[in-house]
Structure 1
Amino acid sequence: MYTREDVNENTIVLTMTIPREAFDKSYKAILKDQTKDSKVKGFRKGKVPSELLEPSMKPMLQFKTFEKLAPMYINTAIQKEKIELIAPPKYSKLPKFDTKDDLEFKVEVTIMPEFKLGNMKKVKIEKKEVSIEKKDVDQAIQEIKTNNKTKVKKIGDSWAKEIAKKLKLKDITNLEELKKEIKNILTKQKEQMLRHTYQENALKQAINLSDIKIPQPAIEFEAKEREKAFEQEMQQRGIKVNDFVKQSNLKMEQMREAWLKDAKDALESDAFLTLYANKRNIKVEKEEIDKKIEIIKKSRPNVDQSIFSNDQWLEYIKKVERKEKAFKEFIKETLGKEF
């Protein structure tokens, strides 16, 4: 049994009830399991009466029983209410164990509030003209010379031909042609950087126009997950976190602040793209999912093949693909087809 109270747009309080009979039954099973290997002078192993051991263990066993049962009741309520969690449920009231009544407890559930898509016509991006100056090309030439050993030491036509061959640049016969090619490469790089900047700025404006505000518990949970992933990576690499932090001349507080910011940005983008996909009725066809899976299979040939038939994983891939389509459609709408 449970009741639901919508406290605000992103918080639900569920008041849960565990029947006393169900709690006592589970408690007795846990008590039996905990005492089966107990050793007490005067009794054979496993033959110590539970009544003798229970008083000292009771508070711990009661809470252990609650920890076992509560998630099942919470998950049942969440499924019935069709609640999409964005952070783990948080206990706001624990039950009283030493009564004969049913056990009542409360959990706060954080959900994503409903957002309203802003006017995408208000997204305005000032585009810059891409220009590469002579000094940029000269600097690139000098860096190439510094980073590559050649037989010809002096920058000139012969050096240009040798370095072009080494860098696999075709149809370069003199220094001017090399400079022209480098200018083209630098132009494309700058265009790509600007394109990425335009897209980021457009997304930020759209998030603000849609008034996307992520509940703090969700941000903190996501940041904590990033910290856990970092710790696991360090452990796999055989590096102590404290040593890495010292060598990087950083403080854990700084890293946690960065994780919080990254988490906030990621969740805002995710929420906006989900909203945009819903409002623009963006769908993902089975053929698109199959194509995505084939790409993943080729890039990760050693992965466990059973994952590709896992319903939860497939649903995740579908969501990712839908958001990618939403992003492309959003960029096309706000910046134009050329982006």
Structure 2
Amino acid sequence: MEKFYERKDINKSTIEIKITIPKDSFKKSYEALLEEELKKADIKGFRKGKVPANLVEPEISETVKIKTFEKLVPLYVTTALQKEDLSPIAPPVYKNFPDFSKDEDLVFSMDITIMPEFKLGNLKKIKVENAEAKISEKEVNEALESVLKNNNDTKAKEINDAWAKEIVEKLGIKDVKDLKGLKEYVKDTLKKQKEHILLHKREDDAFEQAIKISEIEVPESAIKYEAEERERAFAHDMSHKGIKVEDFLKANNITIEKMRELWLKDAKQALESDVFLKLYAKEKGLKLTDKELEEKIEEIKKNAPKDTDPKIFENEEWKEYIRKINEKEDAFKTFVKEVLGE
């Protein structure tokens, strides 16, 4: 196939591809498809499939031409993208369609959205507040009140040593003998929970700064497409569960507009995170070896449901997906250790 397309870079994320389908190639495909359609033709007075072309073609010509075009487009588009080494991150936007009534080459254009190239920013500029996890006496007392409320089958009905002994025995808390010990246990538990929350907050803050410092801006068309995919998945899930979308929205006191706003926000964050982690992994040379990948797959096999189709574990696309997931996880852990020292 000779070069049949022209490339024009509109900006760093948009490329226009102008494709020409030679009229002879189109005619050949059209005639082949027309022949198939004629075999299906059923007109009174003729045996099925034996209807003269001149009787049927005028009626179905336009439809067959459109079908021919739809059949050829993916081949030409895919070939052009492969030759240019382009990986679209959103469906192409077709800018014009050819005129089938003219006896000439078919020419059409489309805009392809790709992910721009980014450079890792200076991560030393990241500043994250290291807040201390402090637990007040009020928080401890509120936690104990909650335990009392949710365990109303104890003999003791107020918070004291007797009640504390019952609770620690009931909940299986070891090395606690009285109310003082229970308060210390609760305080320690609350502190660990708060430390966990603060750590995640610091990680999120650092990650957000890293994306900003690296000036990662995902094309709006990609964000919109990802958000629409989330909406389609949501609608499919609701349908599968036999729930009407309107009923779900009403029950949760939320509008579809608000849901779309949330999907857009989620899509933006997900895409930005994905771009940064891939960039970080590449910069740091983080790559899962084939041996490590096989070990991960074996681990997944052990924990997979018994009715899992074993063929999935041999699927190359699935393996590559597992590789990418683990590389991004490693990138995030390495990033956190580098920036937060944890």
- Tell me, yes or no, whether TM beats 0.5: yes
How far residue 242 of structure 1 moved from its aligned partner, in angstroms, is 1.6
C-alpha separation in 1, matches of 2:193 and 2:108: 58
C-alpha separation in 2, matches of 1:166 and 1:17: 77
| Structure 2 SS opposite 1:109 | strand
Corresponding residue for residue 115 of structure 2? 112
Corresponding position: 1:305 with 2:310: yes
C-alpha separation in 2, matches of 1:21 and 1:148: 82
C-alpha separation in 2, matches of 1:51 and 1:153: 96
* Range that drifts further, 294-303 or 170-179: 294-303
C-alpha separation in 2, matches of 1:297 and 1:38: 52
Give the share of equivalent positions with the same residue, in percent: 50
Amino acid in structure 1 at the alignment position of 2:340: L
Corresponding residue for residue 189 of structure 1? 193
Corresponding residue for residue 37 of structure 1? 40
* Range that drifts further, 267-276 or 33-42: 33-42
Corresponding residue for residue 66 of structure 1? 69
Corresponding residue for residue 139 of structure 2? 136
| Structure 2 SS opposite 1:83 | coil
How far residue 191 of structure 1 moved from its aligned partner, in angstroms, is 0.5
Structure 2 residue corresponding to 1:167, chosen from 154, 166, 171? 171
C-alpha separation in 2, matches of 1:203 and 1:32: 59
Amino acid in structure 1 at the alignment position of 2:57: E
Contact 1:150–1:163 (CA<8 Å) still a contact in 2? no
1:73-222 correspondence runs (5 A): 73-154=76-157, 155-222=159-226
How far residue 58 of structure 1 moved from its aligned partner, in angstroms, is 2.5
Amino acid in structure 1 at the alignment position of 2:154: K
Question: Structure 2 vs 1, CA of residues 252 and 273 (structure 1 numbering), >3 Å: closer, same or farther?
Answer: same
How far residue 6 of structure 1 moved from its aligned partner, in angstroms, is 1.4
Contact 1:120–1:206 (CA<8 Å) still a contact in 2? yes
How far residue 41 of structure 1 moved from its aligned partner, in angstroms, is 3.6
Corresponding residue for residue 283 of structure 2? 279
TM-score (norm 1): 0.93
Amino acid in structure 1 at the alignment position of 2:112: V
C-alpha separation in 1, matches of 2:246 and 2:38: 40
Cα RMSD after superposing both structures: 1.8
How far residue 180 of structure 1 moved from its aligned partner, in angstroms, is 1.2
Unaligned ranges ≥5, structure 1: none
Contact 2:126–2:210 (CA<8 Å) still a contact in 1? yes
Contact 1:150–1:159 (CA<8 Å) still a contact in 2? no
Question: Structure 2 vs 1, CA of residues 54 and 149 (structure 1 numbering), >3 Å: closer, same or farther?
Answer: farther
C-alpha separation in 1, matches of 2:148 and 2:56: 79
Contact 2:30–2:64 (CA<8 Å) still a contact in 1? yes
Structure 1 residue corresponding to 2:328, chosen from 316, 323, 326? 323
How far residue 295 of structure 1 moved from its aligned partner, in angstroms, is 3.2
Question: Structure 2 vs 1, CA of residues 168 and 48 (structure 1 numbering), >3 Å: closer, same or farther?
Answer: farther
Amino acid in structure 2 at the alignment position of 1:219: I
Question: Structure 2 vs 1, CA of residues 25 and 147 (structure 1 numbering), >3 Å: closer, same or farther?
Answer: farther
Corresponding residue for residue 258 of structure 1? 262
C-alpha separation in 2, matches of 1:38 and 1:260: 48
TM-score (norm 2): 0.93
Aligned pair count?
337
Amino acid in structure 2 at the alignment position of 1:238: G
How far residue 110 of structure 1 moved from its aligned partner, in angstroms, is 0.7
How far residue 292 of structure 1 moved from its aligned partner, in angstroms, is 2.2
Contact 1:15–1:107 (CA<8 Å) still a contact in 2? yes
C-alpha separation in 1, matches of 2:30 and 2:83: 26
Corresponding position: 1:25 with 2:37: no
How far residue 35 of structure 1 moved from its aligned partner, in angstroms, is 4.2
